[in-house]
Amino acid sequence: MLIVEDEKKMAASLKRGLQEEGYVVDLAYDGDEGWHRATERDYDVIVLDIALPARDGIELCRDLRRQGIKTPILMLTARDTVDVKVQALDSGADDYLTKPFAFAELLARLRALQRRSQYDLTLQLQAADLILDPISRRVTRGGRDIALTPKEFALLECLLRNKNRVLSRTILAESAWGESFDALTNVIDVYINYLRNKIDRDFEPKLIQTVRGVGYVLRDETS
């Protein structure tokens, strides 16, 4: 998820709360930085404040849509007027939320955007008898429920979305911890081992494989 919000305390608070809910969050503090991030990387959702320096949220949203970026956008506004809401929706936003708002409502609106997303986030991801549901955040293998931590879930989702493709530790680190994570540590290896113990140890075939000197791949012989 990308949050474009110039109030740094609010941005930090949103990031912290969303990370606790299992989201991986990038921040941008003005419209130009938001433009660069949104055009250089694929996001599932963009949370965009209207009152931004450099390029306001209405302009940024319109520019992203002109660029062909169809990522769901939730617009934040401090002005509860019909004209502002109409401007937000007409610029290409999928939804809007008026400040101040309850965090629970933000989460509900984000879930709704994900369900409506053209990226089909409602579709289950599967390899062999391993199934991951991105919306319910349920993981099963062989019909058995598997409990994962938010970081384990993020890593597994990244592996499943890129199954049969070798992923570097850097890509895996960014999927679960964001761009600021130091991929040179052995934390990725530790978490991959946690995943293997949960989804591979008691099952066949073994899905997560190491590619020495490169990273990891989730192999699906059925695809």
Q: Find tokens 């008691």 and name the residue.
A: 202
Whether the per-residue pLDDT at 183 is higher than 60: the answer is no
What average pLDDT is seen over the chain? 88
Task: Say how many residues make up the chain.
Answer: 223
Distances (CA, A) of 24 to 1, 82, 92: 6, 32, 24
179: pLDDT strictly greater than 80 = no
Between CA 112 and CA 108 the distance in angstroms is 6
Would the pLDDT of 93 be above 60? yes
| Phi, psi angles (nearest 5°) of residue 126 | -145, 145
Amino acid at 183: A
Question: Cα separation of 155 and 175, whole Å?
Answer: 7
What number is the average pLDDT over the span 11-30? 91
pLDDT of amino acid 144: 95
Q: Is the pLDDT of residue 17 over 70?
A: yes
Task: Quote the CA–CA distance of 108 and 96 in Å, as a whole number.
Answer: 12
Q: Give the pLDDT mean for 94-120.
A: 81
Domain boundaries, the chain: 2-116, 125-218
**Across residues 166-186, what is the average pLDDT?**
74
Report pLDDT digits (tens) over 47-81.
999 999 999 999 999 999 998 888 899 999 887 77
The domain made up of 125-218 has a fold known as Arc Repressor Mutant, subunit A (1.10.10)
Q: Sort residue 29 into left (φ over 0), alpha (ψ -120 to 50) or beta.
A: alpha
Give backbone dihedrals phi and psi of 132, rounded to 5 degrees, phi first.
-125, 130
pLDDT above 50 (res 32) = yes
Supply the pLDDT for residue 118. Answer: 47
Top CATH class, 2-116: alpha beta
